[in-house]
C-alpha cells in the first residue's frame, strides 16, 4: 500500500519538490527546516493530506542533507544539526578533500536514512499498539520526560532551559481552555482566542532573530574556493567510514525516537562516540572522515526515528515534528495510535515516500553540488531581505492575520534578546506544542484519581517515565557525577 501511494505521480512530484526545497534550505544558512516548513505550510492547504505530509517530510530530511554542504565548504552550518560537520568537514576541504567529504556525507546520509525508514516500518506498528494502552498519566509522563531530556541536553545552565520550558507552557495556556471552554490571557484579542500560533513563534524565534543577529556582524562569508572533484569516496574512505555510519545510524535513530531528542543531539552524540573510540582522538578536528560520516548519518537516521512518536503516539519529538503535527491536524488528521488503523494510506505512504526521498536526495546532492555552491555565493545583504519577506508572507498567509505577523516580529525581537542573554528557544517551542496536551493529560489524570497526584507514580509505565525525568532533573546536583554533559551547541538555528 505504501508504494502504491508514494509512487503516484502527484506524490512523487511533491516528494521531489519537498526534498529539493529542503536541500536548498539546508544549504542556505539563515533559514532552517523549521522556518522552511512553516513558510511552506500554507502551500499545502490546496493538496491532499498525504501529499502535504510527504512534501513537508521531504523538506525536513532534505534540509539534513543540504546542511552538510555549507558546513564543509563554508564552515557555517546550513542548519543546526550540521554544526558538528563543520569541525572535520571544513578541514577536509582545506586539505583538498572537499569531494570525499561531500560524497561520504551524502552516501552516509542515504544509508542512514534508508535504515531509519526500515526501523520506522518495523517499530512503529507495535508501538502504536502499545500506545493504545497509554492513558492520560502515561501521556503526561512521556511528555514530561521529553521536555526534561531536551532541557538536560541543552547547552548552558539547566535552569535557563527549564525556565524556557516553563515559559513555553505558559504560552501554551493562552487562548481557550479546551476543558472548560473559557478564554485565558486573550485580552479580548480575537486572534488570541485560538492561542499563540506555533508558526509565528518559531519563525520569529529562529528566522527573524537569526537575521537580526547576522546583520549586526560582517555579512561577508567566503566559500571555500576549490575545484570539487572525486565525489565518490575511495575504498580507504569507505573502510574508515562504514562503521561510523552504522553506529551513527543506530545512535541517531534511537535518539530521534525520544521526545526531546532529535537530529542535533544525535549528531553531537555520534561525534563524541567516534572521537572516544577512535585510535586517534587527537586528530578529530583536523579532517577525520569518521567525524563527518558518523554525525551526518546520525542526523539523517534521527529524522526517521523522530516520525515514530509523532505517527504512533501523536507526540512530536522536536519542533519540526511539532509543526508537522500542526499540519496534519490542519488537514483533519489526528496522529496517534489510531492513525495506522484509520489512515493507513497516510501512514504507509509517508513512510515509503521517505525511502524514495532518500534516493532522490542522493541523486540531487552529488550532481547539483555546483549549483548549491553558486547559491551560497549570493551575498547575504541581498539574501536576508528575501528571507524576511518569506517569513512575513508565510506567516500572514496562514490565517490572513496581521496580528500573527506582529506576534512573529515580536518573537523575533524576543529571540534576539534570548540569544544575547544565552537562552535557548528549543525548550520553549517544544513546551508550547506539548503544553496544551500536557495540561489536558494532567487535568484528566487528576480527575481520574480524584486529585491524588500519586497516580503518576502508581501506574508502572508512568512511574518509570517520571522517575527517569526526576533523575535527569536531579543529576546536575549530584557532586561526584560532576558537570552535566552539554551535548547541544549554543543555539544557532533549530529544527
Q: For the CB of residue 63, give the shortest distance to another protein in the complex, in Å.
A: 21
CB closer to another protein out of 8 and 397: 397
How many Cα atoms sit within 13 Å of 101 on the Cβ side? 30
CB closer to another protein out of 235 and 450: 450
Question: What are the φ and ψ backbone dihedral angles of 291, each rounded to 5 degrees?
Answer: -70, -15
Q: For the CB of residue 238, give the shortest distance to another protein in the complex, in Å.
A: 43
Q: For the CB of residue 316, give the shortest distance to another protein in the complex, in Å.
A: 19
On whether the CB atoms of residues 427 and 164 are closer than 8 A, the answer is yes
Least Cα distance to 247 among 144, 344, 120, 112 occurs for 112
Q: Burial, 240: exposed, middle or buried (Cβ in 10 Å; 0-12, 13-18, 19+)? A: middle
CB closer to another protein out of 367 and 379: 379
CB closer to another protein out of 112 and 141: 141
Q: For the CB of residue 56, give the shortest distance to another protein in the complex, in Å.
A: 15
CB closer to another protein out of 403 and 463: 403
Q: For the CB of residue 77, give the shortest distance to another protein in the complex, in Å.
A: 21
Q: For the CB of residue 119, give the shortest distance to another protein in the complex, in Å.
A: 35
Q: For the CB of residue 450, give the shortest distance to another protein in the complex, in Å.
A: 5
Q: For the CB of residue 148, give the shortest distance to another protein in the complex, in Å.
A: 12
CB closer to another protein out of 302 and 428: 428
Q: For the CB of residue 419, give the shortest distance to another protein in the complex, in Å.
A: 9
CB closer to another protein out of 344 and 453: 453
Residues that bind another protein (CB under 8 A): 42-43, 46, 157, 159-160, 162-163, 166-167, 169-170, 173, 177, 180, 182, 184-185, 208, 211-213, 215-217, 219, 381-382, 384-386, 388-389, 392-393, 396-397, 400, 402, 405-406, 409, 412-413, 416, 420-423, 435, 439, 442-443, 446-447, 450-453
Q: For the CB of residue 20, give the shortest distance to another protein in the complex, in Å.
A: 16
CB closer to another protein out of 344 and 381: 381
Adjacent-strand bridge partners of 184: 175
CB closer to another protein out of 178 and 334: 178
Q: For the CB of residue 136, give the shortest distance to another protein in the complex, in Å.
A: 12
CB closer to another protein out of 123 and 163: 163
Report the 3 state secondary structure along the chain: CHHHHHCCHHHHHHHHHHHHHHHHHHHCCCCCHHHHHHHHHHHHHHCCHHHHHHHHHHHHHHHHHHHHHHHHHHCCCCCHHHHHHHHHHHHHHHCCCHHHHHHHHHHHHHHHHHHHHHHHHHHHHHHHHHHCCCCHHHHHHHHHHHHHHHHHHCCCCHHHHHHHHHHHHHHHHCEEECCCCEEECCCCCHHHHHCCCHHHHHHHHHHHHHHHHHHHCCCCCCCCCCCCCCCCCCHHHHHHHHHHHHHHHHHHHHHHHCCCCCHHHHHHHHHHHHHHHCCCHHHCCCCCCHHHHHHHHHHHHHHHHHHHHHHHHCCCCCHHHHHHHHHHHHCCCCCCCCHHHHCHHHHHHHHHHHHHHHHHHHHHHCCCHHHHHHHHCCCHHHHHHHHHHHHHHHHHHHHCCHHHHHHHHHHHHHHHHHHHCCCCCHHHHHHHHHHHHHHHHHHHHHHHCCCCCCHHHHCHHHHHHHHHHHHHHHHHHCCCCCCCCCCCCCCCCCC
CB closer to another protein out of 385 and 490: 385
Q: How far apart are CA 105 and CA 110, in angstroms?
A: 8
Q: For the CB of residue 431, give the shortest distance to another protein in the complex, in Å.
A: 9
CB closer to another protein out of 46 and 276: 46
Amino acid at each position: 500500500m505504501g508504494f502504491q501511494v508514494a509512487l503516484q505521480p502527484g506524490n512523487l512530484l511533491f516528494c521531489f519538490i519537498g526534498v529539493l526545497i529542503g536541500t536548498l534550505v539546508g544549504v542556505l544558512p539563515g533559514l532552517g527546516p523549521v522556518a522552511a516548513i512553516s513558510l511552506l505550510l500554507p502551500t499545502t492547504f490546496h493538496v491532499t493530506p498525504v501529499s502535504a505530509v510527504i512534501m513537508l517530510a521531504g523538506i525536513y530530511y532534505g534540509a539534513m542533507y543540504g546542511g552538510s554542504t555549507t558546513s564543509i565548504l563554508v564552515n557555517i552550518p546550513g542548519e543546526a544539526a550540521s554544526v558538528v560537520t563543520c569541525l572535520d568537514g571544513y578541514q577536509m576541504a582545506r586539505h583538498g578533500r572537499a569531494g570525499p567529504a561531500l560524497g561520504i556525507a551524502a552516501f552516509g546520509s542515504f544509508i542512514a536514512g534508508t535504515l531509519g525508514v526500515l526501523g520506522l516500518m518495523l517499530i512503529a506498528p507495535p508501538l502504536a499498539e502499545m500506545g493504545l494502552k497509554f492513558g492520560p498519566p502515561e501521556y503526561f509522563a512521556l511528555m514530561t520526560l521529553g521536555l526534561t531530556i531536551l532541557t538536560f541536553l541543552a547547552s548552558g545552565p539547566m535552569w535557563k532551559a527549564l525556565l524556557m520550558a516553563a515559559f513555553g507552557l505558559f504560552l501554551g495556556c493562552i487562548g481557550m481552555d479546551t476543558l472548560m471552554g473559557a478564554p485565558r490571557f486573550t485580552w479580548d484579542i480575537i486572534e488570541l482566542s485560538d492561542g499563540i500560533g506555533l508558526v509565528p513563534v518559531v519563525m520569529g524565534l529562529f528566522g527573524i532573530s537569526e537575521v537580526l543577529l547576522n546583520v549586526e556582524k560582517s555579512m561577508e562569508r567566503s566559500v571555500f574556493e576549490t575545484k570539487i572533484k572525486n565525489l565518490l569516496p575511495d575504498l580507504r574512505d569507505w573502510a574508515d567510514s562504514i562503521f561510523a555510519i552504522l553506529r551513527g545510524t543506530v545512535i541517531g535513530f534511537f535518539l530521534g525516537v525520544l521526545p526531546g531528542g532529535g537530529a542535533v543531539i544525535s549528531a553531537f552524540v555520534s561525534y563524541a562516540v567516534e572521537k572516544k573510540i577512535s585510535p586517534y582522538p587527537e586528530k578529530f578536528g583536523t579532517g577525520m572522515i569518521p567525524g563527518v560520516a558518523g554525525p551526518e548519518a546520525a542526523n539523517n537516521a534521527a529524522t526517521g526515528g523522530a516520525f515514530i512518536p509523532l505517527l504512533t503516539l501523536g507526540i512530536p519529538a522536536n519542533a519540526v515534528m511539532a509543526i508537522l503535527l500542526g499540519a496534519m491536524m490542519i488537514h483533519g488528521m489526528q496522529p496517534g495510535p489510531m492513525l495506522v488503523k484509520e489512515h493507513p494510506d497516510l501512514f504507509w505512504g509517508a513512510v515509503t515516500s521517505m525511502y524514495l526521498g532518500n534516493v532522490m536526495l542522493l541523486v540531487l546532492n552529488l550532481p547539483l553540488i555546483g549549483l548549491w555552491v553558486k547559491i551560497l555565493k549570493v551575498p547575504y545583504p541581498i539574501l536576508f531581505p528575501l528571507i524576511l519577506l518569506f517569513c512575513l508572507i508565510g506567516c500572514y498567509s496562514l490565517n490572513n492575520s496581521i496580528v500573527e505577523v506582529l506576534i512573529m516580529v515580536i518573537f523575533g525581537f524576543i529571540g534576539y534578546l534570548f540569544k544575547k542573554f544565552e537562552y535557548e528557544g528549543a525548550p520553549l517551542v517544544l513546551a508550547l506544542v506539548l503544553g496544551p496536551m500536557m495540561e489536558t493529560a494532567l487535568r484528566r489524570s487528576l480527575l481520574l484519581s480524584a486529585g491524588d497526584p500519586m497516580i503518576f507514580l502508581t501506574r508502572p509505565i508512568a512511574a518509570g517515565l517520571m522517575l527517569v525525568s526526576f533523575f535527569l532533573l536531579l543529576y546536575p546536583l549530584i557532586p561526584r557525577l560532576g558537570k552535566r554533559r552539554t551535548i547541544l551547541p549554543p543555539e544557532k538555528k533549530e529544527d
